[in-house]
Amino acid sequence: MGTGPACKLAAHYGEKVPALILLSPFTSLKNAVKSLLGSFPSILVRERFENIQTVKEIVCPTMIIHGQKDTVVPYEHSVELHANCRGPSKLVLPPEMTHNEFAIKADIIDPIASFLATA
């Protein structure tokens, strides 16, 4: 599931959601397009998922993993989302991870296991 729908569902179901894990999320669909293609193409995008507002409604523990070498969605999107989380949140920024290339155990599995053990 994408981060936009995942955030919407977590916000909608509130305390019924035990935890939320986001991998390389964007602050908004428009901002993601702007980061990738520039300002003009982002004008053509209809906003459907404004995660930066939605995270303010999420109360469950939230983990955000985003590679520092991501050139599709810059990791600054995750830094901003983390800063705006309403509930408890953890931010993991693997230094060598890109949008599609990562060390599955070190970058994904180990951080998630640690998060779930404490969530």
- Class of the CATH-defined domain 3-118: alpha beta
Measure the CA–CA gap between 102 and 105, rounded to whole angstroms: 9
- Burial tier of 76 (Cβ tally within 10 Å: 0-12, 13-18, 19+): middle
Instruction: End-to-end CA distance of the chain: give it in Å, rounded.
Output: 21
Quote the crossing angle between the two packed helices 29-37 and 76-84, to the nearest 10°: 160
Q: Which two tokens stand for residue 48?
A: 């459907």
Question: Residue ranges of the domains in the chain?
Answer: 3-118
List pLDDT tens digits, range 73-94.
999 999 999 999 999 999 999 9
The structure's pTM equals: 0.89
List pLDDT tens digits, range 46-80.
767 889 999 999 999 999 999 999 999 999 999 99
List pLDDT tens digits, range 101-111.
999 999 999 99
Detail the DSSP E strand segments found in the chain: 20-23, 62-65, 89-92
Mean pLDDT over each residue of the chain, to the nearest integer: 92
* CA geometry: angle 70, 79, 24, nearest 5 deg: 40
**DSSP letter, residue 108:** I
* Count of other CB atoms within 10 angstroms of residue 45: 15
Cα–chain center distance at 75? 9
